[in-house]
A and B are shown apart, each in its own frame.
Chain A
Amino acid sequence: MISGRGILAVAGFQWRRLLAPQRLLLAAAGAAFPAAVVLAARRISGSLDRDAAVLLLYALIPEAICMLGLLVTMCPVVADELERGTWQHVVVRPGGRWSLLAGTFLAAVSWTALVGLFSLLLSLAAAGLPASGRLGWIFAALILLSCCGRAALFALPAVIMPKRALVASVVAAIVVEYLAGFLPAVVNQLTVSLRLRSLLVEWMGWRRQLPPELQLLVDDQSAGIQVLAVFSLAITLLTAAGLILSWRQFPPSEEV
């Protein structure tokens, strides 16, 4: 069903598209934004303690920058092909639909994660924190997990309603990640945001310091389980998107 060569071909082709000057400029501006916010916060408050800086970076990079990056790279997985007139060329290839989805996922995750990591380096420097220490690795892992989980989440609206994928993905992000994700109920187990928060709390050693009302917003299972949950969620969402895409038909607009 899935061809490794096809996936790599799509990922490479998508990367070439992303390396356009406009996209690079946009990525650079996005990457610099958290550092600018950190600098502004330091200037306003006089000094920014380590925990406050970590919380700020968490909100800005794995949550905001990764989310925005994926909206730009993952949402147009089908819409871009339809607009560029390349959809018909791709879907008549054996396994073309799955390759398109998985290859775009790979490109979106790797591109956004790189932008996130670049942003992290700038932001840690702006916050006066070391990039090579444990904190750097924690954030690198959170960025990668955020990208995997959210890219898979955005793949669903992208294949269900390609022409409204951006709006649908924003709605999905708000409803799933920021409403359901913060509900102290079973439904939040199905969100990436719960897993990322829980990992941050676990890896930063904040669990014991958390007040009881905030403990409801994190999961108390081990880090391994949280990572496994993110990957399971990503695989499930991506498979669902792939099955939908493999069944999708787009009428030739000239004739309808």
Chain B
Amino acid sequence: MISLHHATKLYGTVIGVNDLTVDLGPGVHGLLGPNGAGKTTLLGLVTGQLRPTMGRVEIFGERPFGNRRVLARIGYCPAGDLLERRATPREWVSYLLRLSGRDAAAARRAAAAAIERVGLSEAIDRPLATLSKGMRQRAKLAGSIAHEPDLLVLDEPFIGLDPMARHELVAMVREWASSRSLLVASHLLHEIEALDAGLAVILGGRLVASGDVEEIHALVDSLPAEIHLEADEPGRLAAAACRGGLVDSLRFDGATGLRIGTRQPRALASHLATAAAEERITLRVLHAGDRSLEAVFDRLVQLHRGIGPAVAKAAAMEARP
């Protein structure tokens, strides 16, 4: 469905997307990366707003830029706020539908249906300027789904929303995506996790990891993690830890602290607990590091910036398709 083959997008000397090759089939996909990672540029390529400087981008088997057939099948909800102040949600969504080729009456009917779908019916005739950020976000979403696209592309859809509005919008998007394809870009991992999406992690315009949530968790385990311990006798504990063959690096932290680098944090944590019991060492703290996707993200950022052992970098790169 979405196919990028060595796609590169340059803005003068600035790289937006860097030699990116990826194939995404129908379904729900999350695009993850910090601000400036190239997510919006990638979405610009996918939605036909931008042309690749090099390489090829194909959506539904065709190049999207200026392609009416492809554009008719895509719905796009950009990250930026809608500053169209005087228009109402009904006028705005009808306008977009008429731009997509619907006649005025059909556009008004479809607009009302889409606005109802996103739960904005009570504000359908209020000017956008008088609506809350969350309501404007819903109006934008209504505009992007009203023409029933086969692929919905959302750029940071939950940014600036309060938790309640975010929860409702997640539910709405999940319901919509149950029958169609969805590509969501976000810099917040839990948002992508909430959508049960396949993940593609992008940094510096490059794809650095991809897979489902489980595969990304497996990647966490393959990446070097640091375990922090507080014990009465850190020297003996360090010796016990090294006997397991799971330690990559070891560093004493004050009189009682110990920091152990490992690529098998779960196994080492288990080994340490057993060793401490057997050796009768009082273990006050065993912090096995953050295993959440946030941790993966931080670690991939570090790897991308050249921080961390080469072996870990190689492990991360293996995840590239």
Residues of A at the B interface (CB closer than 8 Å) are: 3, 5-6, 8-10, 12-13, 16-17, 20, 83-86, 88-97, 99, 246, 249-252, 254-256
Contacts and interface: CB of A to CB of B under 8 A. Distances in A.
B62 to A, nearest CB: 13
A8 B95 CA distance: 10
B44 interface: yes
B84 A86 contact: yes
A13 B95 contact: yes
A93 B96 contact: yes
Contact of B84 (A5, A84, A94, A254): A84
27 contacts: A5-B99, A5-B102, A6-B100, A8-B98, A9-B95, A9-B99, A13-B87, A16-B91, A84-B83, A86-B84, A89-B76, A89-B140, A90-B99, A92-B76, A93-B96, A94-B69, A94-B71, A96-B71, A246-B66, A249-B49, A252-B40, A254-B35, A255-B16, A255-B37, A255-B38, A255-B39, A255-B41
Could you tell me the dominant secondary structure of chain A's interface residues?
helix
A252 B68 contact: no
Of B36, B100, B102, B103, most A-chain CB atoms within 10 Å: B100
Contacts of B47: 88, 92
Nearest 6 interchain pairs by C-beta = A9-B98, A94-B68, A252-B40, A93-B99, A88-B78, A85-B80
A1 to B, nearest CB: 8
Nearest to A84: B83
Contacts of B100: 6, 93-94
Interface of B: 11, 14, 16, 35-41, 44, 47-51, 66, 68-69, 71-72, 74, 76, 78-84, 86-87, 91, 95-96, 98-103, 107, 140, 143
A17 B49 contact: no
A137 to B, nearest CB: 33
Contact of B41 (A5, A6, A251): A251
Nearest to A95: B68
Nearest to B51: A249
A221 B11 CA distance: 49
A6 B86 contact: no
B189 to A, nearest CB: 19
A255 B44 CA distance: 11
Contacts of B44: 249, 252
Contacts of A85: 78, 80-84
Contacts of A89: 76, 78, 82, 96, 140, 143
A5 B83 contact: no
Contacts of A86: 82-84
Contacts of B39: 255
B79 A5 contact: no
A103 to B, nearest CB: 9
Contacts of B81: 85
Given A89-B143, A254-B40, A255-B38, A94 B72 contact: yes
A93 B47 CA distance: 10
Contact of A252 (B41, B76, B84, B107): B41
A3 B101 CA distance: 7
A246 B36 CA distance: 26
Nearest to B47: A92
Contacts of A250: 49
Nearest to A96: B99
B48 A92 contact: yes
B207 to A, nearest CB: 16
Contacts of A84: 82-84
Contacts of B83: 83-86
A255 B16 CA distance: 7
B146 to A, nearest CB: 11
Given A88-B76, A92-B48, 9 more contacts: A5-B98, A9-B95, A10-B99, A12-B95, A92-B47, A94-B71, A251-B11, A255-B16, A255-B41
A32 B143 CA distance: 40
